[in-house]
A and B are shown apart, each in its own frame.
Chain A
């Protein structure tokens, strides 16, 4: 019964979306920042609001019937306050601006933490809520403090992820009215493939020694290079940095011992997704083991290399590998 109602609701919404895009705001994606204004904030009374209105009506009738003027006055006061609450709620949403959207690094199957960064302003905005699909979160925007509302996306698949419509809403202050608007940012996030668990052992290398790439550097500076903001802090060579008066990091990409090849074609007997899972696990293991590696995919070869950019590039290529499987 409830399933059929839900189905009907979905169909009605879809029809409304087709016919009245301006009304439902379901269609277009928008570039950030998205600022909410009166043209896109909608209001409806909540169920509690309707019940409260019925209650007010009963109290009004009672007060009139008994000719009780203080009760009539207070009923009017309560009704007026309830009406005024719409505008208080409106001020919570109006002018709210979604500045950025970011997501933590996520592998398929793990929940994605979507961070919505709203512009702080002079106005405090409590009791805001976000809903995307079945997940909900509540947050408050403090005055002049960067706000970061995290929304969890439960099931994720590898590849590009679009957040889609996010409903931002509030029932502030009394819960009598729901005010809402839609955020449909055009952002995209890459979800890396799932890792095989338990992690498989790395393939044995083919025995070749890695090429000495750091030829030309002086003995003392061997394996060191200038610091880039993207480098992990654990790689900083503190002693060398002090000597040279600038931050230096160990150039791990060149500290490779044995070259490692992670070959898609070599994984016979597994289906596409299983291969991708295993390659992903290998990339991560190789990274944590600080071993230089080459990723061979049907259409491209990445590396040899090691480090954040190599890792990023490999995971990206794996995430975007066509699902129907590349030919061996």
Chain B
């Protein structure tokens, strides 16, 4: 176990470590990513030139430096982010000192751990498959550490093939174990999801331009199964967050958003029943089709009729909601609410205020002001995902100078103008549109479908949804975000988008079947097999049974293909001749040599000797002659034995 690694072994080890670290690249701080990108190739290069392991005098300071950097960056070394950064750094440092097979094994074991921890950051099907591919590489590296390979000229092929074979062989048992391993009722340590996260998703704060990152993110946000008919695109507004307060730059929920009873709902039309499967957001809001009638279990209906979960959504979450597409929301508005819905920051955006004042001075009523604004947008504004930057007076700049932007700009400017004109208004963010999978009958809503619109309060009508973006780019609402953004480069091309939409079905199965497989689903899956209450004891028993069956099958396979054979090909042919002769009553005796046998055969069955004699002569010369017999002669002898026809039992008097 103390052999120095040869070049092929070190190469596959380095490749494995590099691939493992690459799976973490998405969240590593730039200083670590850069040092890894320098360190690994440097080590591979110096070793190829014959350098020994990096000495402890340089490794120990580097390790200490790593700890210091992690602590100064994150405050401690525990938790998901600092832990993974530390793990990646230590893995790279381990590679620096790896010279022997034993070190390499330790490094690979640790790499397996680091690899699994990458799944704490992303769990998509594609990412898991990527991790699986690195796992193949990792096992191949372990195989390559074995001495005396069968084909040293092809150092990669055989280990990779064997590694894939091993994982394939393990798949049935792994699937059984996955289904049967008892899930923990409550976490043993920590509180999953308490880490501060950088997951993309709707934020509870909106400043025009913020959403750009989200709008180019094609990952799924949630999927919707409708019990009945699918609402038309114009009705697919999924409400998530209502923003009341504007400080000149940001729209926020305000401190009081959670409290108070839900706003009253009147004249709700026929409800739509549907189930949403939400990807983890690490936040508490839940999207629901405008306008949810009630809150599912473990959620609340906020004052502004948005759904709020009791805990952050760190795992995919499925919930059933009823919504009314036609409604009258809050027919009466309290004074406090009216004040809040009209509040504007002082000393911001004077030109916009002046414009609203001008409209009012012209004697326009609420409706006319709304329409004037929409007409203004429609006449001279452009929808674009790459708008120019806005200055301090963001609404003024947008309305009078740049006139280019997307939903955030329009909803923000619209609500500002409404408030300036004395019409209660607020911003609503959520998702709009989605892609309907006709084959699999579900609606896929991506992060890029994120949207912001406005609600204005009209006397007698309550809160009315107004989407100013629709005035600028009707396609955005009718045909979705993709149509509005146009095709920008190959990544946005239609066929690729179509392909991705088709493939989303696999993602959906993955999310619902694997990621969302919890104790409840486990129970549900086992009920048809007569396991009504899947308590941990029963599950472990079944797991043991599965393990036993797998062991039996594997053992049968391992034994198979190595039948116990006595002697070589010649011995076997001779044994076959013996069984043939036994049928004629001339079974060879253990004490008998070939010539004795021939003599006895002569006496017992003289007719046979013409065929038998040459065979026995042959055998004796093959078996007892000088030198190894030629394989062709043995083959010929085997054929001759097979051709020998022996009459059934010969009567001997």
Which residues of A does B touch, CB under 8 Å?
35, 37-38, 48, 51-52, 55, 58-88, 90-91, 94-95, 123-129, 138-140, 142, 170-175
Q: B150, B162, B177, B514: which contacts A79 (Cβ < 8 A)?
A: B177
Name the B residues within 8 Å of A70 (CB-CB). 119, 123, 127-128, 131, 514-515
CB atoms of A78 and B135 under 8 A apart: yes
CB atoms of B109 and A52 under 8 A apart: yes
CB atoms of A80 and B174 under 8 A apart: yes
B232 within 8 A of A: no
Main secondary structure on A side of the interface with B? helix
CB atoms of B128 and A74 under 8 A apart: yes
Q: A126-B146, A129-B147, A138-B147 are in contact. Are A72 and B166 (CB under 8 A)?
A: no
Interface residues of B in 70-108 (CB under 8 A from A): 102, 105-106
Q: B146, B173, B189: which contacts A65 (Cβ < 8 A)?
A: B189
Q: A65, A68, A72, A87: which contacts B181 (Cβ < 8 A)?
A: A72
Q: Name the CB-closest residue of A to B547.
A: A83
Q: B106, B139, B150: which contacts A174 (Cβ < 8 A)?
A: B139
Give 1 or 0 for each of B536-557: 1 = CB within 8 Å of chain A CB.
0000000000000010001101
CB atoms of A69 and B142 under 8 A apart: no
CB atoms of B188 and A127 under 8 A apart: no
Give 1 or 0 for each of B232-246: 1 = CB within 8 Å of chain A CB.
000000000000000
CB atoms of A84 and B177 under 8 A apart: no
Q: Name the CB-closest residue of B to A119.
A: B568
CB atoms of A87 and B558 under 8 A apart: yes
B348 within 8 A of A: no
> Interface size (B, Cβ < 8 Å)?
62
Interchain CA distance A117-B516 in the complex, whole Å:
56
CB atoms of B554 and A84 under 8 A apart: yes
Interchain CA distance A51-B103 in the complex, whole Å:
13
Q: A63-B116, A87-B558 are in contact. Are A79 and B170 (CB under 8 A)?
A: yes
Name the B residues within 8 Å of A174 (CB-CB). 139, 142-143, 166
Task: Provide 17 A-B residue pairs closer than 8 Å at the C-beta atoms, listed in order of the A residue.
Answer: A55-B109, A55-B113, A64-B183, A67-B314, A70-B119, A76-B174, A76-B175, A78-B135, A79-B170, A81-B169, A83-B170, A87-B555, A124-B150, A127-B149, A138-B147, A139-B148, A173-B146
Q: A55-B109, A79-B177, A173-B143 are in contact. Are A85 and B166 (CB under 8 A)?
A: yes
A296 to chain B, nearest CB (A): 35
B214 within 8 A of A: no
Name the A residues within 8 Å of B557 (CB-CB). 87
Looking at A87, A95, A142, the one whose CB has the most chain B CB atoms below 10 A away is A87
Name the B residues within 8 Å of A60 (CB-CB). 181
Name the B residues within 8 Å of A76 (CB-CB). 173-175, 177-178, 181
CB atoms of A66 and B174 under 8 A apart: no
B450 to chain A, nearest CB (A): 25
CB atoms of B178 and A73 under 8 A apart: yes
Name the A residues within 8 Å of B514 (CB-CB). 69-70, 73
A123 to chain B, nearest CB (A): 7
CB atoms of B146 and A127 under 8 A apart: yes
Interchain CA distance A239-B511 in the complex, whole Å:
87
B558 to chain A, nearest CB (A): 4
Q: B135, B181, B558: which contacts A91 (Cβ < 8 A)?
A: B558
Q: B113, B132, B173, B564: which contacts A80 (Cβ < 8 A)?
A: B173
CB atoms of A77 and B171 under 8 A apart: yes
Name the B residues within 8 Å of A63 (CB-CB). 116, 119
Looking at B148, B189, B515, the one whose CB has the most chain A CB atoms below 10 A away is B148
Name the B residues within 8 Å of A51 (CB-CB). 106, 109
B562 within 8 A of A: yes
B470 within 8 A of A: no
Name the B residues within 8 Å of A87 (CB-CB). 554-555, 557-558
Name the B residues within 8 Å of A64 (CB-CB). 181, 183-184, 188
B179 to chain A, nearest CB (A): 9
A117 to chain B, nearest CB (A): 12
Q: A59-B113, A81-B139, A84-B169 are in contact. Are A94 and B558 (CB under 8 A)?
A: yes
Interchain CA distance A81-B169 in the complex, whole Å:
7
Interchain CA distance A175-B146 in the complex, whole Å:
7
